[in-house]
Amino acid sequence: MSGRGLLVLLFLFAPAFAFGGVGALALFVALVAGGRGADVGRVLGECAAGAIGRGLAGAAHGIRLREAPERLGRATPGQRCGAQLGGRFENFVQRGGDGRSFGKEAFDRGPAFRTFLPFCQAVGQDGIQGSDLCLEVGQVGGCHREAGGRDLPVEGLIGRGIEVPPELAVLNLELGPSGTMGEAPDLPGEVPHRSFGIVTEFLAHGNAPPWRVHQQKSLKGPRQECFLGGDSGNNSLKRCICQDYRVMRRGSILIRMIESRYMPEVFSKSGKSKSPPSTDLRVVSEVKRMVDEGYCEPPWRSLAAMPPGTKFEAQNDDEKVLLLMRKHPVTNLWWIGLTAVLFGLPLFWGEFPLIASVTPMVGLALAVFWYLGLAFFVIQNLLLWFYNVYIVTDERIIDVDFFGLLYKNVNAMQIRKIEDVNYSQVGMFSSIFNYGNVVIQTAAEQRSADRTEEASAFTFEAVPNPDRVVKVIGELMEQEEKEEYEGRTK
Amino acid sequence: MDDILGSLSLSLIVGLFVKGLLVLTTLLSLVTVRQASLMDKVLNVPIGNWFKTLAWGFFFVSLILTIGIVLIV
């Protein structure tokens, strides 16, 4: 082979080598992704906060893991009533505080099955054994005065990641007969700092009650999939508490968190004293609707409302992620298609004389490199798609852009600095799949400082349902203005 | 000089070329590991660990294959 031929070979294939990828690994990646995705989706997709409500309904069981009287303030741990109403559950834990009243009306709504089982406030240094986990499940449905009328710090019911070790799953939850509570032994292990949570499901495990599995499989549709305890026919309780829960693994206790902002409305009529709404209790109706429609799961969806367990860099303590967006999956078609083509290209290498003339071992090395490069290409695009996100919180909007391996650009802006929001949908695909660009303009508008050449530093590119995104931001702007007017701006 | 040039073959050159690129790919996969970690730090999501695992898996596969190719071919 002449030197010129070699040069031609190198020039022809070097770019392909540089950007190509390798199939075996890509296939492996795809398989792994599919398997894990299915698994995670199976578990996380069961956004079924109502399971316990309905599941416990009629079960006439009570569970109490541990009580912490000193943490409960005016509440009386373990106090319950309504056992005679068997089938109606009110699971609650109360702690002292200056929160909203958890009053009579909240309980008068029965026969609602409320599943209201928060943990005590994160005292967590000493873990569960330090009695910060005060978790009760008892029948108090229809019990007004006994259970109601005590202050419940609703504001404190903020969903954070609750990490419950798998050991919890092997607790011998002693299910007492109707109207009684079983005592569980001390919980083993250390549990990190935690906030409130709501336990809504117990996966079948060991002595766990059989209703769990049944409910898990029977729940479908957003209405059943996430709600605060459900309403058993009357639609008085519509708040969806499909937030911030973690599934530890099969056989463990499924912890679902509760978002504070949704609580006050549920129990808003119950306050003896109404505290003025604060900025951290912003309720965006559009976001709630989206949550009700199941937009919270799974975590890789391109438009997630109140995505559970999602945090970002530089997030404030009391800042809540309302929307998490990334580009519509359709925008990935180009590299998926290219990968498919490149994946099969080695089959035709024999048609190229230069490649055909190399020894089999070198051909093998070439193929290995080809597929490794292809895998690299796939992983890069997957990462860039997944982590190039746009975040709307109750305080700010954040645009996170990654470019290649070593460049990132993060823009953040307060809601109050937004001047205008609009969106555009251009092209056939965007119309068919309903995605578009949301452009957020500020007073001091400038082009993006990054490499995107966007119309604004805050352009949410190709996000699904741009109209709803605009609506959410619009609502936030309105609330911001209102709070500013009332002097309650943070 | 002529002997050296005469001993060069297409397979040899392509083999060297591929080995170099494999090493480069392995290095890039290591960068990807770091990148996934940083991305997860910027945006912490429940399945972030899965991406990190994926990146590490890719790195190890790349490393093993590269070592194999460099030693064998």
| Chain-chain contact of A376 with B28 (C-beta, under 8 angstroms) | yes
* Residue A302 neighbours by CB under 8 Å, 6+ apart: A325, A326, A327, A328, A329, A435, A463, A464
Here the tokens at position A195 are 């906030």
Q: Kindly give the parts of chain A with pLDDT less than 70.
A: 1-283, 297, 444-457, 486-490
Give the 3-state DSSP-derived string for A181-245, with helices as H, strands as E and coil as C.
Answer: CEECCCCCCCCCCCCECEEEEECCCCCCCCHHHHHHHHCCHHHHHCCCCCCCCCCCCCCCCCEEE
**pLDDT tens-digit map of A201-248:** 333 223 333 222 222 222 232 222 222 222 222 222 222 232 222 222
**pLDDT tens-digit map of A2-52:** 444 444 444 444 444 444 443 434 433 433 343 333 333 332 222 222 222
* Domain residue ranges in chain B: 2-72
Helix (H, G, I), strand (E, B) or coil at A490: coil
Are A299 and B45 in contact, with CB atoms under 8 Å apart? yes
- Which segments of B4-70 are extended strands (E)? 43-44
Are A262 and A179 in contact, with CB atoms under 8 Å apart? no
Element (H, E) at A4: helix A3-19
- Looking at residue A456, what is its pLDDT? 63
Tell me the one-letter amino acid at A53: G
- Looking at residue A144, what is its pLDDT? 25
Q: At what angle do helices A360-387 and A333-344 cross, to 10 degrees?
A: 170
Which chain A residue lies closest to B68 (C-alpha atoms)? A365
| Chain-chain contact of A313 with B61 (C-beta, under 8 angstroms) | no
Residue A141 Ramachandran class (φ > 0 left, ψ -120 to 50 alpha, else beta): beta
pLDDT tens series, chain B, 73 aa: 667 667 778 888 888 999 999 999 999 999 999 989 988 888 888 888 899 999 999 999 999 999 999 998 7
- pTM value is 0.52
List C-alpha distances in Å: B52 to A137, B44, B62.
38, 12, 15
- Looking at residue A444, what is its pLDDT? 64
Among residues A311, A313, A346, the alpha carbon closest in space to that of A160 is found at A311
Among residues A429, A427, A467, A459, the alpha carbon closest in space to that of A441 is found at A459
| Chain-chain contact of A405 with B54 (C-beta, under 8 angstroms) | no
Partner-chain residue, chosen from B32, B38, B58, that has the shortest CB–CB distance to A25: B58
| Chain-chain contact of B58 with A379 (C-beta, under 8 angstroms) | yes
- Looking at residue A373, what is its pLDDT? 94
Shortest CA gap B23–chain A (Å): 10
